[in-house]
Structure 1
Amino acid sequence: MDQQVKRVKRELIKHGAILDMYEDTMELPDGKQETWDFISHRKGAAAVVPVRGDGKILMVKQYRNAIDRMTLEIPAGSRDSVTEDTRVCAARELEEETGYCSDDLTRILSLKTTVAFCDEFIDVYLAKNLKPGHQHLDEGEFIDVAAYGVDELCDMIYAGTIQDAKTVAGILAYKNLLNQD
């Protein structure tokens, strides 16, 4: 059944640094109206699965306010503008967060993080041939970097220790690539 849902009105509730929150009035197929929340991630983002020569993956550990705890994630960040190539963003975030550089970045997947209420997209890249660079964190950013084996990370995903969507998707996509070789 093809159901038509129509946005009747969109009202900006809060304008943030990278996100805007809206209240949408939606007309449903039965003619009734409901109010839905919508969050616009204005720039989009990129993430990177950085694989060292020994096969270990560099991960970043940082505090996340939304879930009030430390997380283990692949490096990622917002694009500087809506026109910035996500590959450029991924390379920048790799060096900023881990202190490593790579000219060998390949996009392995694109995802929408939370389609129920947000339009954020993230392109996830695989980075190989890592070279030491200089970590330069953003102001107010505190990150620890550690290396893990892919199987160890998969175990953490299935145990529920790693729950970040881009990280889960990136690690599992990389594991799938390894299984194809």
Structure 2
Amino acid sequence: MLFYEETIKSTSIYKGNITEYVVEDVKLPDGKQAKREIVRHDSAAAVLPFTKDGELILVKQYRKAIDQISIEIPAGLQDKTDKDGMETAKRELEEETGYKAKKWSFVTSFYSTPGFTDEFLEIYEATDLYLAEDPLSQDEDENLELITASYEQAWDLYHKGLLRDSKTVFALFYWKMKKLDIKLGE
């Protein structure tokens, strides 16, 4: 079977600072037509920043889209000046937490929700953290509180429903896999 949908018509409904809403008329592989509602979204990067004590630095903020507090790993959109996701991750860590890291490693990348958006997210791990002397400022519309959580505390936040966004849930399971690897290697 051919897995391709030909775009017949594309209409931009709204273009904001972060997203663009598009409705596309497509021709399906069987010749029928359908509409696709798509949110075009800039790429983003997220960071799993681990302290020297092995705790994870998280940010607490209010998310209007879900009308509740969310606790997440630091993350943000790739700026036009960022040459890649790593540069975005480094900038976002400093802006949101005031920290920099000496050691960085790529963890994974994925489309957050390909059923309706093209948002592409890269995730990095940062260790050997230190406070920046003159940290980058947070975005004007950000109100963040830092939380440092042990493995058990992070899972407790998850079970309480405070840690629910996809990148941070992924981070928890990544952390769990790392702990399993350590135990299996002993």
Same fold (TM over 0.5): yes
1:77-103 Cα offsets, whole Å, 9 max, x none, are 001128621111111111110111112
Identify unmatched segments of 5+ residues in structure 2. none
Q: Which residue number in structure 1 is paired with residue 68 of structure 2?
A: 69
Greater CA drift, 157-166 or 63-72: 157-166
Query: Which amino acid is the alignment partner of residue 86 of structure 2?
Result: R
Q: Matched residue of 2:65: which SS?
A: helix
How far 1:48 moved relative to its partner? 0.2
Distance (whole Å) between structure 2 residues aligned to residue 47 and residue 55 of structure 1: 18
Q: Matched residue of 2:173: which SS?
A: helix
Identify unmatched segments of 5+ residues in structure 1. none
Quick one: structure 1 residues 167 and 6, their matched pair in 2 at CA, closer, same or farther if it must change by over 3 Å?
same
Distance (whole Å) between structure 2 residues aligned to residue 59 and residue 180 of structure 1: 23
Greater CA drift, 69-78 or 159-168: 159-168
Q: Which residue number in structure 2 is paired with residue 44 of structure 1?
A: 43
How far 1:132 moved relative to its partner? 1.1
Q: Matched residue of 2:137: which SS?
A: coil
Distance (whole Å) between structure 1 residues aligned to residue 54 and residue 74 of structure 2: 17
Q: Percent identity among equivalent residues?
A: 35
Greater CA drift, 157-166 or 98-107: 157-166
Quick one: structure 1 residues 177 and 102, their matched pair in 2 at CA, closer, same or farther if it must change by over 3 Å?
same
CA RMSD of aligned residues (A): 1.8
Per the normalisation by structure 1, the TM-score is 0.91
Instruction: State the 4+ residue runs in structure 1 displaced beyond 4 angstroms.
Output: 1-4
Query: Which amino acid is the alignment partner of residue 5 of structure 1?
Result: E
Greater CA drift, 170-179 or 136-145: 170-179
Alignment of 1:129-148 (within 5 A): 129-133=128-132, 134=135, 136-148=137-149
Distance (whole Å) between structure 1 residues aligned to residue 101 and residue 81 of structure 2: 23
Greater CA drift, 102-111 or 155-164: 155-164
1:110-144 Cα offsets, whole Å, 9 max, x none, are 11111101010111111100101236211121000
Q: When the two structures are aligned, how many residues end up with a matched partner?
A: 180
Q: Matched residue of 2:109: which SS?
A: strand
Per the normalisation by structure 2, the TM-score is 0.88
Distance (whole Å) between structure 2 residues aligned to residue 6 and residue 113 of structure 1: 23
Distance (whole Å) between structure 2 residues aligned to residue 74 and residue 142 of structure 1: 14
